[in-house]
C-alpha cells in the first residue's frame, strides 16, 4: 500500500507536493528538488509534460525520487500516448516501485513547446481511470489479456471546481469516482467561497465518503503571476483580493513571495475546516523550495512517515 493511501486512510490530514522534471536529461535537478521535498509531504506528484511542454519522463523522474527515499505520484495524461503505450508505462511504473498514479486528460498540445504535434486522445481521463482499475483489480489489460502480476496502484484523478458548467463539476467527480478514482487533487484553490459551494455539492452526492479530496494550493510569487493566472489560464479563478495583497506587499517594500506563502498558509488553514477535505496538494511551480516553509507554517509537520 502507498504511504499516501495509508495516511489518508488513517484519517490524518494528508499533504502532497509537486515536482516538475527538467527540460533536459539532468538527473541532478530532480535529485536536488527531491532533497528539498523529502519529509515535507506524504507523496510527491511528478508532472507529465505539464502544459504540453516536453520534460523528463514522469516515470523516470519518479524512479529517481524512489531512489532518494520519496514516494512519487506518477502523473499520466492522455495527450501523448495511446492505450498501448499507457498500459506499457503503467506496468513499467509499477515495476519500478511507483504506488500512486494520477490520471489526467492533459492540457492541449497547443499550449506547449510543440504545438505542431498530433494529440493522441485515444482515451480520456475517465477511461484511463477505468483502465487502471481493471488492470489492478481484474488483472486485465484493456484488450482482455490477463496478467499474472497486476500493478498495485493507488488511483487518483484531478477535478477543477472552477471550470464550467459549474453544475457538472461535482457530477463529473462522481463519474471519476465511479470509474475508479480513490483520491482527488483539485485545481488550485484561491476562490474559497466557490470551492466551498462545490464541496457542498460533493457532499450532497456523498462523494466525500467515497474518495479522498485534496485541495490544490499554490503560493503566488508576485502580483504579475496572480494576474497572469487570472487572465490567461483557463479555469483558474484568482480573486482580486489576492492580487491586491500581492501588489500591496510590493508597494510597501515587503517581499511579495512571503505574502504569497502567507496566503497559501491561510488557504490551507481554511481547507482544514471544510468538511470532506482530506488534505492539500501543494504545488509550488518551479519554486519547490517554498514547500517546506508552507507546510511548516501550516502546522503540517512532521509528516507521519509510512
Partner 1 sequence: MIVGQRKPIDEIYAMIVANDVKKLLLGGCGTCVTISFAGGEKEVAELTAALELKATSDGWTLEITQLTPLRQCEPEYTREMADAVKAADAVLSLSCGVGVQTLAAEFPGKRVLPGVNTMMLGSHSPDRLFIEYCGACGDCILGETGGICPIVRCSKSMLNGPCGGSVNGKCEVSPDIGCGWQLIFDKLNELKLGATWDEVTTARDWRPSWHGGPRRLESK
- Binding residues vs partner 1 (CB under 8 A): 78-79, 83, 105-108, 110-111, 119, 121-127, 130-131, 142, 158-160, 163-165, 168, 171-172, 174-175, 178-179, 187, 234-235
Least distance CB 124 / partner 1 (angstroms): 4
Least distance CB 219 / partner 1 (angstroms): 21
CB nearer partner 1, residue 56 or residue 126 = 126
Least distance CB 75 / partner 1 (angstroms): 14
* Closest to 14 (Cα-Cα) out of 23, 24, 2: 2
CB nearer partner 1, residue 164 or residue 251 = 164
Least distance CB 302 / partner 1 (angstroms): 33
CB nearer partner 1, residue 32 or residue 124 = 124
Least distance CB 123 / partner 1 (angstroms): 6
CB nearer partner 1, residue 81 or residue 172 = 172
Whole-number Å distance between alpha carbons of 238 and 162: 10
Grid cell at residue 63 = 524512479
CB nearer partner 1, residue 63 or residue 81 = 81
Whole-number Å distance between alpha carbons of 161 and 194: 8
Least distance CB 235 / partner 1 (angstroms): 5
Rg, Å, the chain Cα set = 19
CB nearer partner 1, residue 85 or residue 301 = 85
Name 155's bridge partners: 101
Amino acid at each position: 500500500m502507498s504511504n499516501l493511501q495509508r495516511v489518508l486512510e488513517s484519517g490524518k490530514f494528508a499533504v502532497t507536493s509537486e515536482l516538475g522534471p527538467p527540460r533536459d536529461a539532468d538527473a541532478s535537478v530532480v535529485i536536488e528538488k527531491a532533497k528539498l521535498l523529502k519529509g515535507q509531504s506524504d507523496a510527491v506528484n511528478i508532472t507529465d509534460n505539464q502544459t504540453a511542454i516536453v520534460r523528463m519522463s514522469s516515470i523516470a523522474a519518479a524512479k529517481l525520487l524512489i531512489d532518494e527515499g520519496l514516494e512519487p505520484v506518477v502523473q499520466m495524461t492522455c495527450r501523448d500516448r495511446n492505450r498501448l503505450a499507457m498500459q506499457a508505462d503503467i506496468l513499467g511504473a509499477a515495476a519500478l516501485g511507483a504506488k500512486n498514479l494520477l490520471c489526467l486528460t492533459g492540457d492541449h498540445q497547443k499550449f506547449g513547446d510543440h504545438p505542431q504535434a498530433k494529440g493522441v486522445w485515444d482515451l480520456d481521463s475517465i477511461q484511463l481511470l477505468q483502465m487502471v482499475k481493471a488492470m489492478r483489480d481484474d488483472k486485465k489489460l484493456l484488450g482482455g489479456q490477463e496478467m499474472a502480476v497486476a500493478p498495485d496502484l493507488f488511483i487518483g484523478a484531478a477535478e477543477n471546481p472552477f471550470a464550467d458548467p459549474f453544475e457538472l463539476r461535482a457530477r463529473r467527480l462522481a463519474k471519476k469516482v465511479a470509474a475508479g478514482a480513490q483520491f482527488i487533487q483539485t485545481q488550485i484553490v484561491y476562490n474559497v467561497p466557490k470551492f466551498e459551494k462545490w464541496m457542498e455539492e460533493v457532499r450532497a452526492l456523498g462523494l466525500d465518503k467515497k474518495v479522498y479530496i485534496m485541495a490544490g494550493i499554490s503560493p503566488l510569487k508576485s502580483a504579475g503571476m496572480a494576474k497572469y493566472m487570472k487572465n490567461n489560464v483557463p479555469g483558474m479563478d484568482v480573486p482580486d483580493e489576492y492580487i491586491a495583497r500581492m501588489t500591496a506587499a510590493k508597494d510597501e517594500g515587503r517581499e511579495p513571495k512571503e505574502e504569497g506563502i502567507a496566503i497559501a498558509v491561510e488557504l490551507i488553514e481554511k481547507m482544514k475546516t471544510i468538511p470532506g477535505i482530506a488534505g492539500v496538494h501543494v504545488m509550488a511551480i518551479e519554486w519547490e523550495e517554498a514547500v517546506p516553509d508552507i507546510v511548516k507554517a501550516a502546522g503540517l509537520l512532521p509528516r507521519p512517515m509510512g
